[in-house]
Amino acid sequence: MRYKVPGNCSICGHEILISNFKCSNCHTKTEGEFVPCRFCKLSSEQLDFIEMFLRCRGNIKDLEKVLGISYPTIRNRLEETLALLGLSTVEAKVNKLDKKEAVDVLDALERGDITPEEALKKIRPE
């Protein structure tokens, strides 16, 4: 059985080093210290999201239709994925909320429990 290369250690969560690999065609073995690509850190759900984002050519309106989720939810998933890839925006780094709190705020906004103004106050307290 073949497994996906993990992005981090399954025990402590730190970055892993891959020590060897083998060609499936010629069976050549290569040894050394290799780090997995940054996309290995993404879950299969996040990879599926990125694939769909690319299929929609980055058009969020199309992505909303295909996935059946709201704009704020798409933005949240995109920011989360960018952060895992080390590509998050400065604005996202300024935000002092942890991920769960931010998701809760966006979910409340999507359900209509809070207004966009209230969401902004919770996400960007001044």
Encode pLDDT of 8-63 as tens digits.
888 888 888 889 989 999 999 999 988 878 888 888 889 999 999 999 998 989 99
Q: What is the value of pTM for the model shown?
A: 0.55
Q: pLDDT tens for residues 91-123?
A: 444 455 667 777 888 888 888 999 888 887 777
What's the rounded Cα separation, in Å, for the pair 14 and 105? 29
CA dist 123 → 72, 98, 107 (Å)? 12, 10, 12
